[in-house]
Structure 1
Amino acid sequence: MTEILIFAAFLAFVLFLVAGRGKKYAAILGWTLVVVNLLMEVPDYLVQDNLLYPAIAVMSVPFLAITILRLLAEDQTILQLSSAAAVATLIFVPFSFMPLFRDALISAVVGQAVWLLHAFGYPVQIEGWNIILLNGFATEIILTCTGITAIAILLGVAAGSRDLSIKQGIYAFLIVVPTIYFLNILRVVVVFIAWSDQWFSFLPDPTGTTEFGAGYASFFWGHNVFAELFSLVILIVIALGLFRIIPQLATFARDLIHLYTIEVRGLIRFAGL
């Protein structure tokens, strides 16, 4: 079902990019499908003990309501945001649906992470083709472990900017892609070392799971907490870098924050909270 929703969102955003006066309805459909997909994935993320994406899914509901209202009003800021989402979708979908692209990217991340682990003195092995293994500790590398989602989002934001010059586009690509790709490999390596060396075994395991063996607390805190926080900080830093390169992007961000702040306050007042 998830793949169907993602592909349908892809088609909706493609239509948004090529449509004329009715493009706002294509954008509404695209955003709705994205949010529905997020909500449907919540159970899977909870099984993985991931708290960030379920929180994003919950917050996406009022976001969707505001976005739909502003699209119906043909708000230019939200139309620009929809352009960014459309470009991000165009970048992400080939890796999601085409095994050649997906497997090549995963294999590259696995190979480079293993090389780096060997350089750090960890004689890890590859089981199958995408599982890193050492002394009974295993980490499976899937598409979400490659950084492609963050790359697609930030490139989409940059490409969706009004009056983007070729020079700005090239600089944005060079800041986003190599930086996220390298830091993501470093993240995979550090999480695996934290897992295999039991860095956080002194912390409680809030999941209480025994499915992955003893010491799962180190993986939970390393992967689901500290690595997520690290990724968030990196995204903010890269976004600030993009603002320096593309000044109009900073203006867009301020307008977007201002718009949603006002609308959220209006929803709160409407709800009587």
Structure 2
Amino acid sequence: MSDYLVLISCICFLAFLIPWRYRNYFAIGGWISIVGYLFAGIPRYISLNNFVYPTLAVISLPLLYITIKHLLRNDPRVIQVSVIAAIAFLVYAPFGYIPALGDWLISAVAGQTSAVLAAIGYPVNFQAWNMLERNGFQTEIVLACTGIQSIAIMLGVAWGVKSTLKQKIAGFFIVFPTIYILNILRNVFVIAAYTEQWFPYLPEIASNGEFGYESFFWAHNVAAELGALVVLVFLAYALFTVVPQLATLANDLYLLYRGELERLLRRGPDKTGT
């Protein structure tokens, strides 16, 4: 179900890029599908003791309402953020929906992760083309481990506003090598922490019943998630410096959503819903 929602969202956003009268309705369909994807994944994330995405799902509901409301009003600020989402899907789609490309990227990341682990004294064995093993603990490298989602989102941000070719090239070199290299280091940290059992703490909240999972939980679901958030904040700041139009858009969106959320808290939704 989740995979279908991502595909629907991708199709909707790509249709939104076509300049026709119904484009905003496709953007609405794209945003609804993204929120649906977050909710569809709640059971799986809870089973993995990952509460970041379920929290995002709940937070996304009022933001979705505001987004739909302003897309129906043809608000240029929300149209612009929808363009960013559409470009992100353009970057992600070839790897997400062409198996040969996705597998090539997974294989490359698995090999590079293995090489770095060996270089720092934590060599692993390949149990399969994307399955790394050490000390009896196995870690599967999947598409989500390649950083392509974060790269696609940040390239969407870098390329989603009107800017010069020089700014777009600079944005690419800020985003791609930074996220790609840091993602390899993230994989190295998570695998080393898991296979060496660095964090065997609080099994009552960190265990899913699998032996040693606590170390994976703290490394992957906590430390790596927080680290990724910090990196994305710094990348956004760097992009704002190179592409000042992004800073203006971010401020406009902040004012829009903050104002709408405050109004919702004070009075509730419009009776008309528009």
Give the alignment of 1:75-154 within 5 angstroms. 75-154=75-154
- Contact between 2:154 and 2:175, CA under 8 Å: does it hold in 1? yes
Root-mean-square deviation (CA, aligned residues, Å) is 1.4
Q: Distance in 2 between matches of 1:114 and 1:124?
A: 6
Partner of 1:206: 205
Structure-2 residue corresponding to 1:190: 189
**Matches of residues 169-184 of structure 1 in structure 2 within 5 Å?**
169-184=168-183
Between the aligned partners of 2:202 and 2:9, the Cα distance in structure 1 is: 40
Classify the secondary structure of the residue corresponding to 2:121. Answer: coil
Whether the 8 Å CA contact 1:205–1:220 is kept in 2: the answer is no
Q: How does 1:150-165 map to 2 (within 5 A)?
A: 150-162=150-162, 164-165=163-164
Match of 1:46 in 2: 46
Q: Matches of 1:110 and 1:199 in 2, distance apart?
A: 21
Other structure's SS at 1:18 match? coil
The gaps in structure 2 that reach 5 residues or longer are 270-274
In 2, the alpha carbon distance for the partners of 1:135 and 1:66 equals 50
Is the CA contact 1:9–1:33 (under 8 Å) kept in the aligned structure 2?
A: yes
Which portions of structure 1, spanning 4 or more consecutive aligned residues, are displaced by more than 3 angstroms? 202-205
CA shift, 1:242, in A, is 0.3
Between the aligned residues of both structures, percent identity stands at 48
Name the residue aligned to 1:17. Answer: 17
- 3-state DSSP of counterpart to 1:220: helix
Is 2:233 the counterpart of 1:248? no
Please, which moves more after superposition, 152-161 or 196-205? 196-205
1:112 CA displacement: 0.2
1:23-69 deviation digits (Å, cap 9, x = unpaired): 21111111111111221111122222221111111111111101000
Q: Residues 205, 110 of structure 1: CA spacing in aligned structure 2 closer, same or farther, 3 A cutoff?
A: farther
- 2:34 aligned counterpart, secondary structure: helix
Query: In the TM superposition, what is the alpha-carbon distance from 1:220 to its structure 2 partner?
Result: 0.7
Residue of structure 2 in register with 1:231 after alignment: 228
Distance 1:216 1:269 in 2: 44
Q: Residue in 1 aligned with 2:264?
A: 267
Cα deviation, residue 122, structure 1: 1.3
Count of matched residue positions in the alignment of Structure 1 and Structure 2:
269
- The change in CA–CA distance for 1:3 and 1:210 in structure 2 (over 3 A counts) is closer
User: TM-score if structure 1 supplies the norm length?
Assistant: 0.94
Deviation at 1:202, TM superposition (A): 4.0
Q: What one-letter code is carried by the residue in structure 1 that aligns with 2:103?
A: D
Partner of 1:33: 33
Q: CA deviation at 1:205?
A: 4.5
Q: Give 2:214's aligned residue.
A: 217
Greater CA drift, 241-250 or 17-26 = 17-26
